[in-house]
Amino acid sequence: MGLIVQKFGGTSVGSLERIEAVAQKVAAFRHEGHDLVVVVSAMSGETNRLLAMAHEIDPQPNPRELDVLLATGEQVTIALLSIALEKQGIPARSYTGTQVYIRTDSVYNKARIQNIDSKRICNDLESGRIVVVAGFQGVDEKGDITTLGRGGSDTTAVALAAALKAHECQIYTDVDGVYTTDPRVVPEARRLDYLTYEEMLELASLGAKVLQIRSVEFASKYNVPLRVLSSFESEGGTLITAEAEGMEDPLISGITFSRDEAKLTILGVPDKPGVAYHILGPIADANIEVDIIIQNVGRDGTTDFTFTVHRIDYQKAFEILQEISRTLGAREVRGDNKIAKISVVGVGMRSHAGIASTMFRTLAQEGINIQMISTSEIKISVVIDEKYLELSVRTLHAVFELEKNSSGNGLSY
């Protein structure tokens, strides 16, 4: 029947009862004739508990030792799930990232996978075992334990699926697929049956948290079919592939949003070559990621420069910009940490004009001012006042006719 890699997140394995329920779900696939590799996260809340203990001892713990600590969460889960499978008479074997030899670089707390030695896994599969692998972790060339950052178990699963040439990688979570928008904001939101890698990357980078961005990038690079499913329901799901079925029809697949935005503007900067570097260079040196950037047309020898950052970086970026302002002789620095970003995403936008004008007209009719605009082939993003976020999402969802036609839980935001 083919090899399937399945990943179960923290809420899916959040208790002994849920771990046994996962074992039953995995066993059902096994009885259908599939070979299975199962990747699991730590039990819900465990990673936060471990982090809290580390930070209670030292607010800035040594990154290497922090990875040694955090990796223990998944080790508990893989052992318990293997025990649950064995209880049902299904041979299983658990492995940490080190035992499987998921080789990473040495960037502790956010390492990247470089290669995987799949020999032990293949031997176990040939022997009829289900292989249970700890997500979120690996080992560097020195033999030190590393972790992949929040959501890293998704990346582990996709990387294993690529290395093993699996038929499909199934991501089980507490939602039953990817939706046209967050149903907590728009109850009529519809679960999508299919998405392309491009669309999922845009949705994930623009606010939808159902999949880690790096896992989608990995899937796209190695052409691994991804399916998002619910751990608690037997139906539904969203398939993510290179070319999803039926994607020529809809212009817009989804509307996503981010509340965690802040805007900074430096006014009256001397308009000369290199000004953008002099502004954004120190921001980058402080490890602050910049999103949308706008530079106004120069006038009277000066220009205004505006960019957005994550809200948690707002104060730090503002202080850096004030120093840059004094160095460059700019007139003023302004900031706003009460903004939001809304994006419409869809591969159909490539061949259809008028999406932007419809979006802008709709917001104008509601009296909502657009502060910044960013576009790509398959997405349009706008920055607006945060207080208009939910009104904007509901109105755009209705205008683009993304109404609900199936039931289920919603996209995780």
- Spatial distance between the Cα atoms of 254 and 203, rounded to a whole number of angstroms: 8
pLDDT 10s digits, 197-246? 999 988 887 766 778 888 999 999 999 999 999 888 877 799 999 875 55
Query: How does residue 413 score in pLDDT terms, banded at 50, 70 and 90?
Result: very low
Task: Give the pLDDT band of residue 101 (cuts 50, 70, 90).
Answer: very high
| H-helix segments, 212-304 | 213-222, 275-285
According to the annotation, is 11 in a ligand binding site?
no
Q: Give me 278's structure tokens.
A: 């002099």
Confidence of residue 297 (pLDDT cuts 50, 70, 90): confident
Tell whether residue 10 is among the known ligand binding residues.
Answer: yes
**Token output for 257:** 């949003």
pLDDT of residue 351: 67
User: 335 labelled as ligand-binding?
Assistant: no
Which residue is associated with the tokens 């006038």? 299
173 is in an annotated binding site: yes
CA–CA dist 300, 258 (Å, integer): 36
Structural tokens at position 167: 């038929």
Residue 89 is assigned to a ligand binding site: no
User: Pairing state of beta strands 254-270 and 35-40?
Assistant: unpaired
Question: Strand, helix or coil at 380?
Answer: strand
Residues 6+ apart with CB under 8 A from 44: 10, 11, 13, 14
Higher-pLDDT residue of 231 and 136 is: 136
Is 209 within any annotated ligand binding site? yes
Q: What pLDDT score does 15 carry? A: 96
Q: Which residue has the tokens 């507490």?
A: 174
Measured CA to CA, the distance from residue 352 to residue 251 in angstroms comes to 7
Residue 269 assigned as binding residue: no
Q: What is the mean pLDDT of the chain?
A: 91
pLDDT digits (tens, 9 = 90+) for 346-376: 887 876 778 889 999 999 999 999 999 998 8
Bridge partners for 116 per DSSP: 102
Overall residue count recorded for the chain in this entry? 413
Say if residues 263 and 383 touch (Cβ distance below 8 Å).
yes
Residue 403: pLDDT band by 50, 70, 90 thresholds? Answer: confident
Q: According to the model, what pLDDT value does residue 244 have?
A: 54
165 is in an annotated binding site: no
Residue 150 annotated as binding?
Answer: no
Residue 251 clears pLDDT 80, i.e. is over it: no
- DSSP at 320: H
φ and ψ at 27, to 5 degrees?
A: -60, -35
Res. 384: pLDDT tops 90: yes
Q: Which of 169-183, 226-240, 242-256, 313-327 has the highest mean pLDDT?
A: 313-327
Q: In this model, does residue 301 exceed pLDDT 60? A: yes
pLDDT higher at 387 or 296:
387
- 119 by DSSP, 3-state: which? helix
**Percent of the chain whose predicted confidence (pLDDT) is above 70:** 95
Q: How far is CA 201 from the centre of its chain?
A: 8
For the chain, give the percent of residues with pLDDT over 90.
74
Q: How far apart are CA 104 and CA 148, in angstroms?
A: 9
Please, which pLDDT band fits residue 404 given cuts at 50, 70 and 90?
low
Tens of pLDDT, residues 139-159: 999 999 999 988 899 999 999
Domains detected in the chain: 3-174 (3.40.1160.10), 255-399 (3.30.2130.10)
How much is the pTM? 0.82
Whether 156 has a binding-site annotation, put simply, is: no
Q: What is the mean pLDDT of residues 318-331?
A: 94
Q: Are 289 and 262 in contact (CB under 8 A)?
A: no
pLDDT for 411 equals 44
Looking at residue 63, what is its pLDDT? 95
Angle at 348 between CA 344 and CA 349, to 5 degrees: 55
> 264, 318 in Cβ contact below 8 A?
yes
Closest CA to 64 of 114, 104, 9, 35: 104
Predicted confidence (pLDDT) per residue in 263-295, tens digit? 999 999 998 889 899 999 999 999 899 999 999
Mean pLDDT of 87-104: 96
